[in-house]
Structure 1
Amino acid sequence: MHTQIFQRTSLGQAATCGRFALDPQALHLLMRFNGFTALEYLGQTGEDVAAFQRIAQQLLDQGLIEHVGEDPQVESPSGMGSCWGYLDQLVPA
């Protein structure tokens, strides 16, 4: 689940507007899903990864988010796991 990309469903979008009872942690995470960013990058430093994934699974089970793809997991030269480092290779020298 860590490398999966999710987006809010229409029900999830309504939940961000207060139309669904969610605890503050779940609501905060729900607001982060954008359909482009893998789950592993949505977490913030210091967050409990297991709890973060458990909340994401609950949102998925409730139909508030849906799976839209996988992060390609391209390794950058720095080893950070981001493909942003490769942008320099696209610019002619």
Structure 2
Amino acid sequence: MSFKNKGLKIETQVPIPIFWKGKEIGTGYRADILIERKVLIELKSVEKVLPVHPKQLKTCLKVLDLKLGLLINFNEAKFVNGIVRVVNGLDDPS
């Protein structure tokens, strides 16, 4: 059963605009999956999630004015170990 079968609006390769001095000047990045314009999902297959990966996701959440993002790394022995939840508006623990 897919998200679309559940009646959810799914967008893929969503353009993330770049702003300079308050003006949009182009697209700098494309987000992998956006569900219902509420949850942003970024997909990775890397040996290790680096600190830059959640920071990139948080930046995308800020630009799109979203609250919740999931970073999913498929290169893990257990799927659940590859999921990082990122919330826009919460302080970084570092």
Same fold (TM over 0.5): no
**Whose Rg is larger?**
1
Q: When you count helix as a share of all residues, which structure comes out higher?
A: 1
TM class by smaller structure: 0.3 to 0.5
Greater relative contact order structure (CA < 8 Å, 6+ sep): 1
- TM-score, normalised by the number of residues in structure 1: 0.34
**Normalised TM-score (structure 2):** 0.34
